[in-house]
Amino acid sequence: MKHEWRKHEKELFMPKEKPEIVNVPPMNFIKISGAGDPNKQDFADRVGTLYPIAYAIRMMPKNGYTPEGYFEYIVYPLEGVWDLSEEGRKKGTLDKDELVYTIMIRQPDFVTREVFERAVEIAKRKSSNPLFDEVRFETITDGLSVQMMHVGPFDEEYKTFEKMKEYISENNLKLRTLVHREIYISDIRKTEQEKLKTILRYLVE
């Protein structure tokens, strides 16, 4: 049976449209970092660098290699961790050119560094994309977090963040960092702005 994150990991990937506390376990990711406005081509190029590697991992048995513990699964959604440059922090309003980000795709537990490196080699055989060399494989533990499903345009996320900050304050929690995580549940190419689903997550203590 194929592992579907929407069904089997609802707590992490299908939260409600109200703030909730979640304890996020260690997870494997393939990731690439960048800076600047996500509406510009460089961001799209970086997103487009992750997917050939993610699909090379998922399709490995068809390429003649089955990693130990492999199971059929649906590729996980794109995620991003967002921050601002020093210059961007000094400004009173959000300047998207000052954004600093790491975008990533979660990988199943059977994926090891060796499996990742093999997938990069497969991707490189099909494309000469120089950004493949910037992709990293890491295990990340968010731990105690507050998350909420945001429905609507990215530019209105601030309304959801306000609700989350109120919840954090009311529950005697505090932010570990102003850096936040976003998980893109909708396909941005096929979904109207008003219906976009994005999980927003703060790390708390």
Give, in words, the CATH class of 1-25+141-205: alpha beta
Region 6-14: mean pLDDT is 95
**Is there a common fold for 1-25+141-205 and 26-140?**
yes
Residue 20: predicted pLDDT: 97
The per-residue pLDDT for 126 is 95
For 107-134, how does the pLDDT look when each residue is reduced to its tens digit (9 = 90+)? 999 999 999 999 999 999 999 999 999 9
* Structure confidence at residue 175 as a pLDDT band (50, 70, 90): very high
Domain boundaries, the chain: 1-25+141-205, 26-140
Q: What length is written for the chain?
A: 205
Rounded to whole angstroms, the Cα distance separating 79 from 10 reads 16
Q: Tell me the pLDDT of the chain averaged across its residues.
A: 96
Helix 41-58 with 113-126: angle, nearest 10 deg: 110
CA atoms within 13 A of residue 10's CA, in its CB half-sphere: 2
pTM: 0.96
> How far, in Å, CA of 205 to CA of 203, rounded?
7
CA 108 to chain centre: 14
Check whether 200 has a pLDDT greater than 90.
yes
pLDDT in the model for residue 92: 85
Using only C-alpha atoms, what is the Rg of the chain? 18
Class of domain 26-140: alpha beta
Average pLDDT over residues 49-62: 97
- Read off the pLDDT of each residue in 161-187 and give the average, rounded to a whole number: 96
Mean pLDDT, residues 72-78 taken together: 97
Residue 32's pLDDT band (boundaries 50, 70, 90)? very high
Dist CA 78 CA 186 (whole Å) = 10
The DSSP string of 149-187 is EEES-GGGHHHHHHHHHHHHHHTT--EEEEEEEEEE-S-
What average pLDDT does range 174-194 have in this prediction? 93
Residues contacting 154, CB < 8 A, separation 6+: 196, 198
